[in-house]
Every structure is written in structure tokens, then in C-alpha cells.
Amino acid sequence: MNEIIIDNVTLQKRNELILNDINIELKMGHSYLLYGKNGAGKTSLLRCLTGLEKSFKGNISYNGEASVDQNVTYLPDTYSLHDSIEIGAYIQSFRLLYESNGSFDAERFGKTYDMFNINSFRNKNFGSLSKGMIKMVFITITMMKKSKIIVLDEPFEGLDIVMKKVLLALLIDEVSNGKLLIVSSHEVAEVYKQFDQLIGIKGGKITSILNREEVFTYEELIHQIL
């Protein structure tokens, strides 16, 4: 089977409908771009998918099993950290954790670490880094965990155009090796053509599902979420 099935997922909080009857099938070896404006429901859907949000109605299954989160590595869109924490020590703490439970992916970690040239600022602390550099650190930490499913929430935010392309090439390479990639973003102009399927979301509802082979302009793509 090798797929995730999101079936009739609805999420309501404080009388506000966050997600409204979401139905999607996601297959291994494919890449998906979930796009929409801020507040559209992208992060809420990813939190449901990764097991961080459990109060939704409906079902999410991986290969027929109810649990997806054990197979997922997840990059959130926000982080809670102290400015004084040193980068190298912070990364090492996660490496030791993943090594201890057998989920450390040395090859993927090495590629990401070198790609972002983390070594050049590993002795600095978070308070001295730019937004883009902080994003690089957390992507590196995310990618060091072995997983079949890679879920990244706003990974391109804060990165310059060169780093966006380099990161996307790394991610697409993972897809070619059979991984399932789900990226959420509101910055899609430079990257959308590289994904197998584009999923538009607005007001907690799926507004369109477009395949890469379909002929459409960027303006038509964005019209789906306005």
C-alpha cells in the first residue's frame, strides 16, 4: 500500500472550524506542496498528520495503521529556544538522543550539515544568528532523524534563493529514494514546479489538487487560494 490516507479530517477549537472535511491520499516516493495563505490551516493539518494534534475528528492512517508519527520527521514553523544556547552543543544533544534510540541518519545529517555550512557558525549562540541561519540549524536537526516520511512546515522561510534551491534539491533526492515529502509553504513561486502534487488550502478546506504534469500558470495556481 505504502501511503497515508487522510479521511474526513475535521478540527474545531473554541467554536472555530480550523479544518473542514479534509480528504487526501499521499503516496511514498512522491512530493507534495501544501500551499495557502497564513492562517489557512496548513500547520493544523500537519500537526494532525504528525500526531501532535489529536483532537480532530476523522482518520489518518499509514499503510492501514492508525499511527503515522513513528515514521515521521517533522520541522515545525516556530521554535522555542534561549538566545544563549550554543549551536554545536544543541545539535549534539539531538544527535546523542537519536543515536541512543537507533534513529540517527548519519548520511542525511552529514549532507545537510555540510550543505548549510553549519560548521562555520557552530560555536555561536542562537541570539547571534539571522532568521535564515536559525532555520538552517533546525532543518539540519530535523533531517538527522531516520524516517520514511519528511514533513516540513515553512522550510523556505528566511532562506535566500540559493539556499532554497539547494535545500529543494536535497529533498527531491530523498523522494527519489522512496521517501514521502510533504512541504507546507506560502512562498511557492520559486519551488512549486518541483513537486509532484500541489494541494491548495483556504479557510481549512482543500480548494484544489493539481499534478505537476498539468499545464497551469503561477497566477492560476495562486487563484485557488485567494
Q: What CATH number did the domain enclosing 150 receive?
A: 3.40.50.300
On the CB side of 204, CA atoms within 13 Å amount to 15
% of the chain beyond a pLDDT of 90: 83
Residue 116: what are its φ and ψ, rounded to 5°? -90, 0
b/e string for 145-175 if b means 16 or more Cβ within 10 A? bbbbbbbbbbbbebbeeebbeebbebbbebb
Per the prediction, the chain carries an average pLDDT of 93
**Whole-prediction pTM value?**
0.94
What is the model's pLDDT at position 133? Answer: 94
In this prediction, residues 44-61 reach a mean pLDDT of 93
Task: Give the pLDDT confidence of 24-47 residue by residue, as tens digits.
Answer: 999 999 999 999 999 999 999 999
b/e string for 78-90 if b means 16 or more Cβ within 10 A? eeeeeeeeebeeb
Domain count, the chain: 1
Integer Cα distance of 86 and 70 in angstroms: 29
Domain that holds residue 86: 3-223
Measure CA of the first residue to CA of the last residue in the chain; give whole Å.
Answer: 35
Task: Give the pLDDT confidence of 187-213 residue by residue, as tens digits.
Answer: 888 899 999 999 999 999 999 999 998
What is the model's pLDDT at position 1? Answer: 58
Q: Tell me, rounded to whole angstroms, the distance of Cα 217 from its chain centroid.
A: 24
What is the model's pLDDT at position 17? Answer: 95
Q: How is residue 36 written as a grid cell?
A: 495557502
